[in-house]
Structure 1
């Protein structure tokens, strides 16, 4: 039973983490994309002369690629959780020493 609950908690945690990551990359795409487009077309001389320090790997292609990866992971995590939620939890088995009717 504990393994079942632990598995469900892990699946829900993974799903939540991926949703946060999806929101982050959506924000990056929505808010930073115009800047990324402009900076990716600007020469290194212009960025150096104007002391513009930016993260070169954040190109439009890389941001879209990251969003696609997160989307695919999120779909898989949702499918895994759906399968898990359709499973019945194992019934609690009480031995002689753990009779639920016993009052302590």
Structure 2
């Protein structure tokens, strides 16, 4: 990955953007020797955004599955217990499971 400082970007913006488009490789922009920005091709950015959205959807689906499994487990426990007080106490205090 190529790196340029802010001054080089100001002086050669067109060349650097052309380089990014031609090579399809991001460029790191440094300010006071620290990375502050990446310049990436628009298509690459859009693909990254799509992947992030898919990952977020997957995480939501997994959280939903977990919640539904816990709900199913609780429902089965409720059917087995004649008195729901122990189950409510267990839910309030936590049952020690980290699912």
Q: TM-score, normalised by structure 2?
A: 0.38
Query: Comparing both structures, which one devotes a greater share of its residues to strand?
Result: 2
Q: TM-score, normalised by structure 1?
A: 0.37
Query: Comparing both structures, which one devotes a greater share of its residues to helix?
Result: 1
Higher relative contact order (CA 8 A, sep 6+): 1
